[in-house]
Structure 1
Amino acid sequence: MNVLNSRPRRLRAGLAAAVTAGVLLLAGCGGGAAPSANTAADAGPPVRGGNLIVAVPTDPQSLDMVANPGQVTAHIGNLLYEKLFEVDKEFAARPMLVETYETSSDRLTYTFELRKGVTFHDGSPLTAEDVVASLQRWLKSHVTGQQVAPDVVTLKAKGDDTVLLKLKEPRYPLIDELASPGAEIYAAKNLEGVPATGFTDKGAIGTGPYKLASWDIGRQVVLERYGNYKSRADQDWGGQAGAKQAYLDTITYKVVADQDALVNGLQTGQWQHAMPGNDQYTALKENASIVVGNVAGANQNVIIPNHAKGSKFADVRARQALNLLMDKPAMNAATGGGPDLTAAVGAMVSEDNPALYSTVGDEVYKQHDPAKAKELFAQAGVKAGDTVRIVTSNSYPQFAQWAVLLQDQLAQIDIKTKIDTYDFPTMLGTINKDPGGWDLTTLFFNAALTSPSQMPAVTLGAFNGSASPEIAALVREYNAVTSPVQAKEVMDKLQALVWEQLPVITLSQSRLYAAWSPELKGYDGFYRVFWNSWLKR
Structure 2
Amino acid sequence: MTLSRLACLLLAAAPLALSAPARAQAQGQPQGQASPAPGRTLRVAPHADLRTLDPVFASIVITRMHGLMIYETLFAWDSKLRPHPQMVESFSTSEDGLTWSFRLREGLRFHDGQPVTARDVIASLKRWMGRDTVGGKLAEYTAALEASDDRGFSLKLKRPTGMVPFALGSAVGQIPAIMRESDAATDPMKPVTDTIGSGPFRFNRAEWRSGARVVYDRNADYRPRAEPADGLAGGRVVKLDRVEWVIMPDPATAAAALQTGEIDIWEQPGQDLIPVIGRSREVRVERYSSLPNQAMLRPNHLYPPFNDPRARLALAYATDQADFLAAGFGDERWWKRCGSYFVCGGPNGTEAGAAGYAKPDLDTARRLLAESGYKGETLVLTSSYDIAHIGRMAEVAGEALRKIGMNVDVQFADWGTVTTRQANRGPVDQGGWNLFVTTASGATMQSPITNIGTNMACARAWAGWPCDEEAERLRNAVAEARDEAGRMAATEALHRRLAEMQPYRVLGQYDQPYARRANISGVLEAPVMVFWNIEKR
Whether TM exceeds 0.5 here: the answer is: yes
1:301 paired residue among 295, 301, 311? 295
Report the counterpart of residue 27 of structure 2 in structure 1.
Answer: none
Among all aligned residue pairs of Structure 1 and Structure 2, give the percentage whose two residues are the same amino acid. Answer: 27
Report the counterpart of residue 21 of structure 2 in structure 1.
Answer: none
Q: Is it true that 1:217 corresponds to 2:208 in the alignment?
A: yes
**TM superposition shift of 1:461:** 4.3
Instruction: Report the Cα distance in structure 2 between the residues aligned to 1:330 and 1:525, rounded to whole angstroms.
Output: 30
Q: Which amino acid aligns with 2:156?
A: K
Q: Deviations over 1:23-69 (max 9, x none)?
A: xxxxxxxxxxxxxxxxxxxxxxxxx9722222235442343321344
1:247 paired residue among 221, 239, 256? 239
Q: Deviations over 1:397-425 (max 9, x none)?
A: 55554454445445656x35332424253
CA 258–161 in structure 1, closer or farther in 2 if over 3 Å, else same: same
Instruction: Report the Cα distance in structure 1 between the residues aligned to 2:192 and 2:486, rounded to whole angstroms.
Output: 41
What SS does the corresponding residue of 2:474 show, helix, strand or coil? Answer: helix
Map 1:128-527 to 2 at 5 A: 128-181=118-171, 182-191=175-184, 196-200=189-193, 203-213=194-204, 215-218=206-209, 219-236=212-229, 238-275=230-267, 276-296=269-289, 297-307=291-301, 310-311=304-305, 313=306, 315-350=308-343, 354-374=346-366, 376-377=368-369, 389-395=379-385, 396-399=387-390, 401-409=392-400, 415=405, 417-423=407-413, 425=417, 429=421, 432-434=425-427, 440-449=435-444, 451-455=447-451, 456-459=453-456, 461-462=458-459, 464=464, 466-526=466-526, 527=528
Are the equivalent residues in 1 in contact too, given 2:288–2:529 (CA < 8 A)?
A: no
Instruction: Report the Cα distance in structure 2 between the residues aligned to 1:214 and 1:466, rounded to whole angstroms.
Output: 37
> Greater CA deviation, 473-482 or 84-93?
473-482
Q: Which amino acid aligns with 1:253?
A: W
What SS does the corresponding residue of 1:432 show, helix, strand or coil? Answer: coil
Instruction: Report the Cα distance in structure 2 between the residues aligned to 1:176 and 1:506, rounded to whole angstroms.
Output: 25
What SS does the corresponding residue of 2:443 show, helix, strand or coil? Answer: coil
> Greater CA deviation, 519-528 or 508-517?
519-528
Q: Which amino acid aligns with 2:263?
A: W
Instruction: Report the Cα distance in structure 2 between the residues aligned to 1:428 and 1:157, rounded to whole angstroms.
Output: 35
Instruction: Report the Cα distance in structure 2 between the residues aligned to 1:291 and 1:132, rounded to whole angstroms.
Output: 43
Q: Which amino acid aligns with 1:325?
A: A
CA 230–267 in structure 1, closer or farther in 2 if over 3 Å, else same: same
What SS does the corresponding residue of 1:448 show, helix, strand or coil? Answer: helix
Instruction: Report the Cα distance in structure 2 between the residues aligned to 1:193 and 1:472, rounded to whole angstroms.
Output: 29
1:94 paired residue among 80, 84, 89? 84
Instruction: Report the Cα distance in structure 1 between the residues aligned to 2:367 and 2:112, rounded to whole angstroms.
Output: 66
Instruction: Report the Cα distance in structure 1 between the residues aligned to 2:183 and 2:315, rounded to whole angstroms.
Output: 49
Report the counterpart of residue 24 of structure 1 in structure 2.
Answer: none
Report the counterpart of residue 22 of structure 1 in structure 2.
Answer: none
Are the equivalent residues in 1 in contact too, given 2:238–2:532 (CA < 8 A)?
A: yes
Unaligned runs of 5+ in 1: 1-47
What SS does the corresponding residue of 1:346 show, helix, strand or coil? Answer: coil
CA 459–447 in structure 1, closer or farther in 2 if over 3 Å, else same: farther
What SS does the corresponding residue of 2:130 show, helix, strand or coil? Answer: helix
Paired residues, number: 481
Instruction: Report the Cα distance in structure 2 between the residues aligned to 1:401 and 1:499, rounded to whole angstroms.
Output: 25
Report the counterpart of residue 62 of structure 2 in structure 1.
Answer: 72
**TM superposition shift of 1:458:** 1.6
RMSD: 3.3
Are the equivalent residues in 2 in contact too, given 1:364–1:499 (CA < 8 A)?
A: no
**TM superposition shift of 1:113:** 1.8
Q: Which amino acid aligns with 2:219?
A: Y
Are the equivalent residues in 2 in contact too, given 1:348–1:447 (CA < 8 A)?
A: no
**TM superposition shift of 1:84:** 0.7
CA 482–369 in structure 1, closer or farther in 2 if over 3 Å, else same: same
**TM superposition shift of 1:191:** 4.2
Are the equivalent residues in 1 in contact too, given 2:127–2:188 (CA < 8 A)?
A: no
Are the equivalent residues in 1 in contact too, given 2:208–2:215 (CA < 8 A)?
A: no
> Greater CA deviation, 93-102 or 396-405?
396-405
Instruction: Report the Cα distance in structure 2 between the residues aligned to 1:417 and 1:390, rounded to whole angstroms.
Output: 9
CA 98–364 in structure 1, closer or farther in 2 if over 3 Å, else same: farther
CA 287–337 in structure 1, closer or farther in 2 if over 3 Å, else same: farther
Are the equivalent residues in 2 in contact too, given 1:521–1:535 (CA < 8 A)?
A: yes
Q: Deviations over 1:259-296 (max 9, x none)?
A: 22211211111111112334433322333321112233
Report the counterpart of residue 531 of structure 1 in structure 2.
Answer: 532
Instruction: Report the Cα distance in structure 2 between the residues aligned to 1:132 and 1:445, rounded to whole angstroms.
Output: 28
Instruction: Report the Cα distance in structure 1 between the residues aligned to 2:108 and 2:419, rounded to whole angstroms.
Output: 43
Unaligned runs of 5+ in 2: 1-37
What SS does the corresponding residue of 1:86 show, helix, strand or coil? Answer: strand
Instruction: Report the Cα distance in structure 2 between the residues aligned to 1:211 and 1:438, rounded to whole angstroms.
Output: 36
**TM superposition shift of 1:338:** 2.4
Q: Deviations over 1:459-497 (max 9, x none)?
A: 584464641121011012122223344323322221222
Q: Deviations over 1:492-527 (max 9, x none)?
A: 221222112222111112322211101001223443
CA 286–390 in structure 1, closer or farther in 2 if over 3 Å, else same: farther
CA 157–416 in structure 1, closer or farther in 2 if over 3 Å, else same: closer
Instruction: Report the Cα distance in structure 2 between the residues aligned to 1:287 and 1:221, rounded to whole angstroms.
Output: 27
Superposition TM-score, scaled by structure 2 size: 0.79
What SS does the corresponding residue of 2:316 show, helix, strand or coil? Answer: helix
**TM superposition shift of 1:169:** 2.1
Q: Which amino acid aligns with 1:207?
A: S
Superposition TM-score, scaled by structure 1 size: 0.79
Are the equivalent residues in 2 in contact too, given 1:355–1:488 (CA < 8 A)?
A: no
Larger RCO, structure (CA 8 Å, separation 6 or more):
1
Instruction: Report the Cα distance in structure 2 between the residues aligned to 1:465 and 1:139, rounded to whole angstroms.
Output: 16
